[in-house]
Amino acid sequence: MDLYLLRHAIAVDRDSLWTGRDADRLLTKKGAKKMRRIARAMNDQGWSFDLILSSPFLRARETADIVADVFRQYERLMVSPHLKPGGSPEALVKEITGKYGNLKSVLLVGHEPYLSSLIATLVSGRNGVSLTMKKGGLCKVSTDSLRYGRCATLKWLLGPSQLLGGE
């Protein structure tokens, strides 16, 4: 199985101007526009996903919606509570293997530091490995048998500028 891990695009900052819940922070116009360009670049690579699994937080959902729109894969978009900040990576792995274990390519859309920790755990067996995913960054790991712990090979980790050809 190939797992693609995508960090949500640029969202409204959590600052003194934001009075809503963290889960309700949305993408900025700039973030949505950049994500659309990133999704087109992903599509131009010929990648496809059997499933797009998103965090329920609005900024991740909006990011996943953009990808689903560009890839014309709305029917493949699902939400997992295990992808939200503070969610359980172990429960996420169980959900994927239990419900979607027969799929070959899954895109996970979520947050930092959750995604970096998940990548580190799948690649090294521990989450202490230092990785950083920029907003709109994408990572690919591959595994023959997904499980929580060391089971995958890191194929690549790209920042948004690399996905956009150096923009």
- The token pair at 145 is 């048998």
Task: Read off the pLDDT of residues 56-102 as tens digits, 9 standing for 90 and up.
Answer: 999 999 999 999 999 999 999 999 999 999 999 999 999 999 999 89
Strand ranges for the chain from DSSP E: 2-7, 51-54, 77-79, 105-110, 138-142, 153-158
CATH number, domain with residue 11: 3.40.50.1240
As a whole number of angstroms, the distance between CA 165 and CA 20 comes to 35
Overall pTM surpassing 0.85 (yes/no): yes
Q: What is the pLDDT of residue 16?
A: 61
The domain of 69 spans 2-163
From the CB of residue 29, how many other CB atoms can be counted at a distance below 10 Å?
A: 9
Specify the amino acid at residue 96.
Answer: I
Q: What is the pLDDT of residue 95?
A: 98
Cα 10 to chain centroid, rounded: 13
Number of structural domains the chain divides into: 1
Q: For residue 27, which phi and psi values (nearest 5 degrees)?
A: -70, 150
Q: Which residues of the chain have pLDDT under 50?
A: none
As a whole number of angstroms, the distance between CA 147 and CA 164 comes to 32
Q: What is the pLDDT of residue 64?
A: 98
State the pairing for strand pair 138-142/77-79: unpaired
Half-sphere exposure (Cβ direction) of 43: Cα atoms closer than 13 Å? 14
Q: What is the pLDDT of residue 20?
A: 85
SS3 for 12?
Answer: coil
